[in-house]
Amino acid sequence: MNAVKMDTIQDAEHAAEHAAEHVAEHAAAEAGGMISIQGVSCYYNDHAVLRNVNLEIPGNRIYAFIGPSGCGKTTLLRSLNRMNDLIPSFRLEGTVRLFGDDVYAMQTIAEVKDLRKRIGMIFQQPNPLPTSVMKNMLMPVQEHYHGSGESFRDKVVEKLKIAALYDEISARLDRNALSLSGGQQQRLCIARALMLEPGVMLFDEPCSALDPIATYKIEDMLTELKKICTIVIVTHNMEQAKRIADQTAFFYQGEIVEAGETEEIFNNPKADLLYRYISGKF
Ligand SMILES: Nc1ncnc2c1ncn2[C@@H]1O[C@H](COP(=O)(O)OP(=O)(O)OP(=O)(O)O)[C@@H](O)[C@H]1O
Ligand SMILES: [Mg+2]
């Protein structure tokens, strides 16, 4: 057998090994969770704000993070798509996997950009750009696919419908996004994030600036959205977590005290701290 053939066989064996590894990894990810957080500690300078967090977040569910202010919910959420990379003093130990892929092993800007395409994020305050609804919707796809606006029109309509906004604004996609109500702006931001078809959406207190009616609209929409997306939501609203979350994790001073099915967390809390937190005796 000549050297070239040897190489080919070795390459083929290597490729087969790699493929098997990949399949095994993804099977494990499916069994464990869409997002797997293993032994994660986070620091700003030398100050540990999260300690040894372990959590498996399953696909197509809503996972709520609850806990008092400053316990590290936002830090963990932003760590999932490496948003904290932008903070120079930030450091993470442990492993975060998105569907088997090691998020912190991603080295290149292209890889991290791709990660943020796979994990969308919505903040407390809606942040549409001061331009038309249509331009807001097209911005993410133009950056990633360099496509023309018209070719994405159907997709814009589809995503606005998923975000339960289309019926309210279909006649005026050219109106300035800032002329929408706060609740509409938040749904626009969700629709805009969906343009990249992320598998995961992170929400950091998305309803805290909204009235109850706008809040219910978003909650209804999230319950629909989970059919196509995995959702992680930080909320201070216990009723909201009870209404929409399948699972809930309770954080206290940088640690997960208790995590599990939302019903169990609220109806049958095991930790005294959790019991006191949800019953307002904190
Ligand atoms: N950029 C930063 N630099 C230094 N420390 C930070 C930074 N961001 C957050 N922290 C600290 O990390 C800890 C956790 O903050 P984090 O924002 O994750 O909490 P949280 O649970 O989201 O709180 P809240 O419910 O008030 O939003 C806090 O002590 C906070 O002061
Ligand atoms: Mg926060």
Cα–Cα nearest to 119, from 248, 40, 222, 230: 230
Q: Whose CA is nearest to atom 4 of ligand 1?
A: 44
User: In which domain, by residue range, is 228 found?
Assistant: 60-87+116-278
Cα–Cα nearest to 99, from 27, 34, 21, 55: 34
Q: Which ligand is nearest to the CA of 75?
A: 1
- What's the confidence (pLDDT) of residue 104? 97
Query: Exposed, middle or buried, 130 (CB in 10 Å: 0-12/13-18/19+)?
Result: exposed
Does a structural domain hold residue 168? yes
CATH number, domain containing residue 223: 3.40.50.300
Q: Whose CA is nearest to atom 24 of ligand 1?
A: 69
Pocket test for ligand 1, best of 41, 65, 75, 282 (most atoms within 8 A of CB): 75
Q: Considering Cα of 117, then 216, then 124, then 149, what sign does the dihedral take?
A: positive
- What's the confidence (pLDDT) of residue 142? 78
pLDDT in tens, 180-223: 999 999 999 999 999 999 999 999 999 999 999 999 999 999 99
CA distances from 281 to 271, 274, 277 (A): 13, 10, 6
Contacts of 32 (CB under 8 A, 6+ apart): 56
Does a structural domain hold residue 230? yes
Q: Which two tokens stand for residue 247?
A: 């699972």
Residue type, 34: M
Phi first, then psi, for residue 104 (nearest 5°) are -90, 0
Which numbered atom of ligand 1 lies nearest the CA of 65?
A: 21
The gap from C-alpha 136 to its chain's centroid, in whole angstroms, comes to 20
Cα–Cα nearest to 60, from 78, 33, 38: 33
Does a structural domain hold residue 36? no
Does a structural domain hold residue 240? yes
Does a structural domain hold residue 219? yes
Ligand 2: distance of its center to the CA of 135 in Å? Answer: 29
pLDDT along the chain (282 residues), means of 10: 41 48 46 84 97 97 98 98 95 96 95 94 96 94 65 91 95 95 96 95 96 94 95 97 98 98 98 95 82
Pocket test for ligand 1, best of 46, 47, 65, 74 (most atoms within 8 A of CB): 74
Neighbouring residues of the ion ligand 2, judged by CB less than 5 Å? 74
List of E strands, the chain: 35-44, 47-57, 62-66, 90-98, 101-102, 119-122, 200-204, 230-234, 247-252, 255-261
Q: Whose CA is nearest to atom 31 of ligand 1?
A: 70
Return the ∠ at Cα 59 (arms to 155 and 111), rounded to 5°. 65
Q: Could you tell me if 184 and 169 are in contact, meaning their C-beta atoms sit under 8 angstroms apart?
A: yes
**pTM confidence score:** 0.88
Ligand 2: distance of its center to the CA of 120 in Å? Answer: 17
275 lines ligand 1 (CB under 6 A): no
Q: Which two tokens stand for residue 114?
A: 């791709």
Does a structural domain hold residue 107? no
Q: Which ligand is nearest to the CA of 47?
A: 1
Q: Which two tokens stand for residue 239?
A: 């009723």
44 lines ligand 1 (CB under 6 A): yes
9 lines ligand 1 (CB under 6 A): no
Domain count for the chain: 1
Q: Which two tokens stand for residue 212?
A: 């109850």
Q: Which two tokens stand for residue 108?
A: 């290149």
Does a structural domain hold residue 4? no
Does a structural domain hold residue 45? no
Residue 17 three-state SS: helix
